[in-house]
Amino acid sequence: MSTIKGQNLRIFMNGSVISEATNCTISYSGNADDISTKDTPNNWAQNLNVTRSWSVTVDSLQATPAQLKALITAISSAQPVTLKWDQTNGTTNSTGVGAIFARTGSALMTDLTITAPNRQQCTVAIQFQGKGAPQTLS
């Protein structure tokens, strides 16, 4: 049985890998509306899945000032970016392995947190909220 190792899942923003990533999370959600009535039996909620959403979170050791500037520009512009998540080949950033979860989609950067502890590596936490459905990579 084959497993997918965390180091082989990469998040790309506008075609470039988000470098020095230490963790990434991809979330899919269904948002339900309660359609219960006074006549619903046994007081159990009757829910209807009306919308779906996705989000991506990346924790990263920020490697260069240019990359940090690009992230600040992306959140400041409030413009969508193209995200891609895919399984990569070993330690390289080459894709095409064809992971079952490989997707691409448009997203807004909704949070950028820069942490700079004394005498330690600067870290960055980035959150994206998807716009529309992500597309399967072929």
Q: What is the DSSP string of 28-71?
A: EEEEEEE---TT-GGG---EEEEEEEEEEEEEEE---HHHHHHH
Structural domain for 100, as ranges: 6-30+48-136
Quote the pTM value.
0.79
Cα angle 90, 72, 101 (rounded to 5 degrees) comes to 35
Give the residue with greater pLDDT, 79 vs 91.
79
Cα 104 from chain centroid?
10
Q: What is the pLDDT of residues 92-134, one digit of tens each?
A: 555 555 566 788 899 999 999 999 889 888 889 999 999 999 9
| Domain tally, the chain | 1
Any domain includes 43: no
Residue 73 has pLDDT above 70, yes or no: yes
Any domain includes 25: yes
